[in-house]
Chain A
Amino acid sequence: MLNNKDLLGIKELSVQEINLILDTAAGFKDVLGRDIKKVPALRGKTTVNLFFEPSTRTRTSFELAAKRLSTDVINFSVPTSSVVKGESLIDTALTVQALGADFIIIRHASSGVPHLLAKNLNASVINAGDGTNEHPTQALLDAFTIQEKKRKIAGLEIAIVGDIMHSRVAKSNIYCLTALGARVRLIGPPTLIPENLKAMGVSLFHNMEDGLRGVDVLIMLRIQMERQGKGFFPSTDEYSKNWGLTPERLCLAKEDVIVMHPGPMNRGIEIVSEIADGPRSVILEQVTNGIAVRMSVMYLLSGVKR
């Protein structure tokens, strides 16, 4: 059983809850492999995708997860909504709830928006990425994928490479993987890795080669083009030369290393195509697993006693 009606972040979950979500997801993955990929578990429920930031893969993944569970799905698309007419966030959310939403999947550029909605709504709020805070279902699907490939998480050496400071994926992954017993290291330029993250029990590397030695799992983060010219690094070219993943660098990791990326990728910047499309990459499997994990989350939240 989960303890709260909402999934706001990994921070808010216990290890037991994380494991429950992962175990339940395994069952749903079986469902997705069947000829008929749909279960009636949440028939009659309504899911609203409330995305204030552009997203294709996460929104589609949630939409598919919701449909596989037989809920009705509405995509509340911001550019055509009253938000552009100046409606406040809380009014939009209350309106969505009044339409009868049982699940509200929210993505927003401001950290803490899912928390604000959760406090003010009865519906289950699922964080699909808030600002630079968390993206919990991404971390859960990453953990699921690692567990599937490595049969365990505890004791693994896992490196997260890139713009840690602005990455909600990195934050959720740090909480999730350290909670499950992995040793997490962060690699990237000092401007993008706040020193105080050490307090979270991770180690920091500014040199890519040093950081890659002996890792079991590599999570590459997307370098956001809008960071260029903000003084975090001089150019994507220089970034790529120092922290881009190349076949030569990959040789420093363990032989059976797996390479992950939450997408969308900048090929040739943080990762070269030979690796992204190569045998060590599990990037597309992450996408498939995302549906199973999101089904698991919705299914478990529906069982939370109010």
Chain B
Amino acid sequence: MRIHIQNGRIIDPSQGLNTIGDILIEDGKIKEVRETISPHPPLDKRGRRGGDSPDTRIIDARDMIVIPGLVDMHVHLREPGFEHKETIKTGTMAAVKGGFTTVCCMPNTFPVNDNASVTEFIKRKASQEGYCAVLPIGAITKGQKGEELAEIGTMRKEGCVAFSDDGQPVMNSLIMRRALEYSKAFNVPVISHSEDLSLSEGGVMNEGLLSVTLGLRGSPAEAEQIMIFRDIVLAELTGGKLHIAHVSTKGSVDVIRNAKKRGVHVTAETCPHYFSITEDAVKGYDTNAKVNPPLRTAQDVEAIKDGLRDGTIDVIATDHAPHHRDEKLREFDMAPSGISGLETAFSLSMRLVGSHILTFSQLIEKMALNPARILQIDKGTLGVGSDADVVIIDEKKEYTVESQKFISKGKNTPFNGWGLRGMPVITIYKGKVYEW
């Protein structure tokens, strides 16, 4: 089976490519990427262009942007254990809809992905039912309890691409030190959910005037910043590879920027909600705006954008955290944290291009190339010989977010009703074509 994508604007930062051209896919791999020789080659006798054989599927991508499939290094697929929130099947379907062809799922399932048999289960389930690549992230510690290292080496062999106790910080500095040290043997990054639990105790939103006036327990920006600083210092001490998850505050951006200047081996991600909305979304006790770390202030949003612009923040991930309707329809402080993000992430991030914070190419770096590089996976590129993970974007397409129509089981989004522009219209995963 061959696919011939014609006349699209191909943007692939892995090759420094930004050109009108064609892509040829064969047997699930990128066969050829070339500039269009003639934008309107003559039709042959069968009405086909460029001598394509009859079994070639031709996709006309004129006025479209053709990019490598996006890589989301931070999602929660909820399986095993919380299938009422999401499954590997529905989560990957939502991913493909959102332009992602690779997702990395966090280990806070039930049971926790802290051993190779859970990793194996996820990989097998994904190969049977998944719509895109699923790369598990293993737990740093057994049961994500922060006490004893999990079998990082064994899970690595089974397919885990990184390690994190996401949702729970590793509060014990010695354990975090050991994790950063030990993981060096397997050359994998440790992903830090940075939150000093003693400082954020019981916090359900950002601490500030708004938390006081809403009567909600606040978690100060410093609870995030302090832990990022600690983990950076430990990365410096050990030489381990540290990746900071979901950066949300100005102080955090400053700390990471300084560390990078010193040459510390640290990378960082943020999520669309941290550069798109502020804590104001919590007003009226909207549990769909409850997320951890919490939504911050306008000043923080600007700092996150600065961090994306100057490269302090390497990656845009979704932290896709689907929850069941009943779980969110309750007391604000009892509702679980999280935003269902896979189906809005790309359009929300496109706004950064519209406001000249990133070029389109830089956006693809943050959403495909950089996460692939951090995880050392052969994804996020249209290089010849790579998996044919390709997304075609209609950058002019305007639409209104309707959470009830999400493919994800999680309809929990603070962006319902937003008018957005630019969306994936075709996602190709290893040569399989999904279109909307």
A residues within 8 Å of B by Cβ? 11, 88-90, 108, 110-113, 115-116, 130-134, 165, 168, 171, 194, 196-197, 199-200
Contact = CB atoms under 8 A, between A and B. Distances in A.
Given A88-B330, A131-B333, A116 B285 contact: yes
Nearest to B209: A196
Contacts of B334: 110
Given A90-B329, A111-B333, A168 B215 contact: yes
A115 B285 contact: yes
B326 A111 contact: no
A165 B207 CA distance: 12
A112 B209 contact: no
Contact of B213 (A11, A88, A89, A116): A11
Given A111-B214, A171-B215, 10 more contacts: A88-B329, A88-B330, A111-B216, A111-B285, A115-B284, A131-B216, A165-B212, A168-B215, A171-B212, A194-B209
B331 interface: yes
A78 to B, nearest CB: 14
A265 to B, nearest CB: 23
Given A168-B215, A171-B215, A113 B209 contact: no
B332 interface: yes
A159 B376 CA distance: 62
Given A88-B330, A90-B329, A131-B333, A112 B216 contact: yes
B232 to A, nearest CB: 28
A110 B331 contact: yes
Q: Interface size for chain B: under 10, 10 to 19, 20 to 34, or 35 or more residues?
A: 10 to 19
What 9 A-B pairs have minimum CB-CB distances, sorted nearest first? Answer: A133-B215, A112-B285, A111-B215, A110-B331, A132-B215, A196-B209, A112-B332, A131-B215, A110-B333
29 contacts: A88-B329, A88-B330, A89-B330, A90-B329, A90-B330, A108-B331, A110-B331, A111-B215, A111-B333, A112-B214, A112-B215, A112-B285, A116-B329, A116-B330, A116-B331, A116-B332, A130-B215, A131-B333, A132-B216, A133-B214, A133-B215, A133-B216, A168-B215, A171-B213, A171-B215, A194-B209, A194-B212, A196-B209, A200-B209
A89 B331 contact: yes
Interface string B304-335: 00000000000000000000001001111110
A48 B227 CA distance: 47
A112 B208 contact: no
Give the secondary structure class of A's interface. mixed
B324 to A, nearest CB: 12
Interface in B177-223: 208-209, 212-217
Given A133-B214, A134-B215, A197-B209, A88 B333 contact: no
A143 to B, nearest CB: 19
A196 B284 CA distance: 20
Contacts of A111: 214-216, 285, 332-333
A115 B209 CA distance: 19
Nearest to B285: A112
B337 to A, nearest CB: 15
A196 B63 CA distance: 51
Contacts of A116: 285, 329-332
B213 A200 contact: yes
Interface of B: 208-209, 212-217, 284-285, 326, 329-334
A110 B209 contact: no
B215 to A, nearest CB: 3
Instruction: Specify which of B216, B285, B334 lies most central, judged by the most chain A CB atoms within 10 Å of its CB.
Output: B285
A69 B332 CA distance: 33
Contacts of A11: 213
Instruction: Specify which of A108, A115, A197, A200 lies most central, judged by the most chain B CB atoms within 10 Å of its CB.
Output: A115
Contacts of B326: 88
Contacts of A130: 215
A133 B331 CA distance: 13
Contacts of A89: 330-331
Contacts of B285: 111-112, 115-116
B202 to A, nearest CB: 11
A171 B213 CA distance: 7
Contacts of B284: 115
B212 A197 contact: yes
A52 to B, nearest CB: 10
A113 B331 contact: yes
Contacts of B214: 111-112, 133
Instruction: Specify which of B208, B213, B326, B332 lies most central, judged by the most chain A CB atoms within 10 Å of its CB.
Output: B213
A132 B218 CA distance: 12
Contacts of B330: 88-90, 116
A130 B215 CA distance: 8
A114 B436 CA distance: 41
B393 to A, nearest CB: 37
B354 to A, nearest CB: 33
A134 B209 CA distance: 15
A196 B214 CA distance: 13
B84 to A, nearest CB: 15
A113 B330 CA distance: 8
Contacts of A133: 214-216
Contacts of A171: 212-213, 215
B216 A199 contact: no
A165 B216 CA distance: 10
A197 B208 CA distance: 9
Contacts of B331: 89, 108, 110, 112-113, 116
Nearest to A199: B209
Nearest to A197: B212
Contacts of B212: 165, 171, 194, 196-197
